[in-house]
Structure 1
């Protein structure tokens, strides 16, 4: 024998309705919502370059950043009225959503241990970039391009017979 088929649709239990409302309330928007769900933040490569450049220059023993040509162009730019030298010279970065990689070209002052200066630059750059941006710094590669000798002229010093 066959059992009769019910034609009435099953009703939703009333207990599940308040639970669904609680779920909707937990995804608040407005001033009470967590900042992480109220928008996105993107950080440009140039921002990380500036932070890394400033952090590297803070280390004792770092004379300048950049290779010879970049430093020359920076000195020329600094002599032009209204021109400014960029703190990002000698810094290249790759920025992802959560991580960054940094390459630095450094000129070290004569008399400083290059390995010690490089280690301190690496630590300072990582700390500065991670603190200011929240990005994880996966690597800081340092290329020491030159050693600044005490008797070498400063870049940007005007040359001429009369000073």
Structure 2
């Protein structure tokens, strides 16, 4: 079965000689190849963000200020929709995509190993779900989450005495 995905992003399948993004037209073309499918940058960013978060050793995504603004935005009704793409930037072409990630890793994990697992998971998920070829996954480790770091940003607002 030939997949035809066209538009904002997509990759080619060397075994078929048909770009999954460029559709064919006409009665002689198989039904699944008639037309084109467009994949928005935000879709690729969500897939990449979810795939990165699945890797053990990743505490969160996003640089310090992005995480702080994201935490505030998530408390506002209807404002939490950007959480899946926080810390993720993508560039999507017709057949290829590039991904940039800002991550916070857990303390006492090998950053090199975690970065390798993130790259593998992100590339696998994006290529499998979109047909795009992922040409690079750049990772910036912005912070290390320490075991005694509080996850709840409201702790600082409550004061020292309870």
Shift, 1:33, TM fit: 2.3
Q: Map residues 1-163 of structure 1 onto 2, 5 A cutoff.
A: 29=27, 33-36=30-33, 38-84=34-80, 85-158=82-155, 159-161=157-159
**What residue in structure 1 maps to residue 20 of structure 2?**
none
Q: Which digits, 9 at most, give the CA deviation of each residue in 1:84-119, with x for residues without a partner?
A: 152101010000111000000110000110000000
Shift, 1:83, TM fit: 2.7
Q: Which digits, 9 at most, give the CA deviation of each residue in 1:112-152, with x for residues without a partner?
A: 10000000000000000000001000100001011011111
Unaligned runs of 5+ in 1: 1-26
Q: Is the 8 A contact 2:74 2:83 kept in 1?
A: no
Query: Bigger CA drift: 52-61 or 151-160?
Result: 151-160
Q: Is the 8 A contact 1:79 1:156 kept in 2?
A: no
Runs of 4+ in 1 over 3 A off after TM superposition: 155-158
In terms of Rg, which structure is larger?
1
Shift, 1:155, TM fit: 4.3
Query: Bigger CA drift: 82-91 or 140-149?
Result: 82-91
Cα distance in 2 for residues equivalent to 1:81 and 1:134: 34
Cα distance in 2 for residues equivalent to 1:155 and 1:101: 32
Q: Is the 8 A contact 1:78 1:156 kept in 2?
A: no
Q: Which digits, 9 at most, give the CA deviation of each residue in 1:2-24, with x for residues without a partner?
A: xxxxxxxxxxxxxxxxxxxxxxx
Query: Bigger CA drift: 151-160 or 66-75?
Result: 151-160
TM-score by length of 1: 0.76
Q: Is the 8 A contact 2:115 2:139 kept in 1?
A: yes
User: How many residues are treated as equivalent by the alignment?
Assistant: 135
